[in-house]
Amino acid sequence: MEKYSDYESIEVPDSYTGPHLSFPLLPDHATALVEAFRLKQQLHARYVLNLLYEARKHLAQLPNINRLSTCYSEEITVCGDLHGQLDDLIFIFYKNGLPSPERAYVFNGDFVDRGKDSIEILMVLFAFMLVYPKEFHLNRGNHEDHLMNLRYKPKHAWVHGKKILRTLQDVFCWLPLATLIDEKVLILHGGVSDRTDLELLAKLDRHKIVSTLRYKIRKENDRQAEEKRKAHQTSSAQTPTPWFLPQSLSPPSLPFHLGSDKAHKASLSSSVPFCALLEHTKLAWLGRRSVDLELERCQQRANFPGIGEKEEPLPQTSEAHAVPGELPEPTLQEWRQVVDILWSDPMMQEGCKANTVRGGGCYFGPDVTEQLLRKYNLQFLIRSHECKPEGYEFCHNRKVGEPTAAVLVCVSQKRPKSSS
């Protein structure tokens, strides 16, 4: 990590008129950062890298599931997707107040992408997190993922963009996966499935999950396994190959999520990449060369600007520079657990089925919600991941709350309530 955060070698010129930061951060630093960004000022790359480096150190000390209490703060404000919209963040602080020891916040993922102020939002969130580590908390969303972030570039991309993106990728890997308030209210970005295991989520190595999109099949050396693979290919010739896999590695059509007949049929009807992953094949992280090819395919399919121009190689975490045999690998079970909580959506019907629209996670019904709440003695689930026309929405017998960025959900010792 250190070799990607050599911010001390970056000089801040005398002509720089933006905000200055010194560490450890004070409340005035975070407040001044909000005001500077409101006035369209930019933060110098040295301070960006310094702040990311400090944020990464703090996040690496946190558990996968943060446990908070309302004993000290009567209310904890939970905010949904910001997606690069700085005006939404400023409006939240205007309506609800700046973070403080008496005013706790949980931002539930998807801070970046779509909007033009992703870097500014990250800087503000990380600054307040460092100033108020016990009152200001962040969950990972499905967009805190380096492959999902390819549509935006930092404003410092011409000079220090590679360092910033590489450091960001490492920071995202350390974001907590969920937050639990008073052991009764579970907050996570996407949703749950009928196999969500909070105990497994609490103990897996979350920094291994660099991207929920970046997997490929390890080549099979065993001749018997090779023959089985070919047999499957022959029997499922009509199954589309995921865009990130070579044609020679076209997998058999197996259910992406559950293994039930319904999930199997759903996966057959989808052409998105997740739905063609092998159920029992050992998976491995892509190497640097493969990721560069993957980046090019991803950009071409998404029609990103600049296609055909020379692009900077996709930044890697420090782990990705190790030799292949030493790469940490999440198990398929661990990977699915994370995909489910980051990508899933609720549905009104009972049951749990593959989320073929998003291509990852599942659709979960009220019975699945009830099952999880009862299993872990919980009362309420808060998720975001979707924009709601009214600003917030309740479903599954009002046991699932879905706030957007501009509408707040306050969790008190009495019961969850919404405020605008």
Name 307's Cβ contacts closer than 8 Å, sequence gap at least 6: 299, 300
Q: Domain 2-206+341-419: which CATH class?
A: alpha beta
- The structure tokens 């990721």 sit at 291
pLDDT band at 271 (very low <50, low <70, confident <90, very high): very low
Q: Pick the range with the lowest mean pLDDT from 44-53, 252-261, 366-375.
A: 252-261
3-state DSSP assignment of residue 106: strand
pLDDT tens-digit series, residues 73-100 = 778 999 988 988 999 999 999 989 999 9
The whole-number pLDDT of residue 305 equals 38
What whole-number distance in Å separates Cα of residue 125 and Cα of residue 135? 12
The whole-number pLDDT of residue 181 equals 93
The whole-number pLDDT of residue 266 equals 43
Q: Evaluate whether 348 touches 364 at the Cβ level (below 8 Å).
A: no
What whole-number distance in Å separates Cα of residue 118 and Cα of residue 110? 10
The whole-number pLDDT of residue 238 equals 52
What whole-number distance in Å separates Cα of residue 202 and Cα of residue 92? 30
Closest by Cα among 139, 233, 210, 144 to 177: 139
Tokens of 169: 């990728």
Q: Which helix (H) or strand (E) holds 364?
A: strand 362-364
How deeply is 4 buried, as exposed, middle or buried, from its count of CB atoms within 10 A (0-12, 13-18, 19+)?
buried
pLDDT tens-digit series, residues 355-369 = 888 878 899 999 999
What whole-number distance in Å separates Cα of residue 13 and Cα of residue 106? 36
Q: What is the mean pLDDT of residues 28-43?
A: 96
The model carries a pTM of 0.72
The whole-number pLDDT of residue 330 equals 82
What whole-number distance in Å separates Cα of residue 108 and Cα of residue 249? 36
The whole-number pLDDT of residue 116 equals 86
Residues designated as active site: 143
Tokens of 292: 């560069």
Domain locations in the chain as residue ranges: 2-206+341-419, 216-326
The 10 Å Cβ neighbour count of residue 231 is 11
What whole-number distance in Å separates Cα of residue 114 and Cα of residue 110? 10
- Across all residues in the chain, what is the average pLDDT? 75
Closest by Cα among 64, 71, 69, 91 to 79: 91
Closest by Cα among 125, 401, 369 to 411: 401
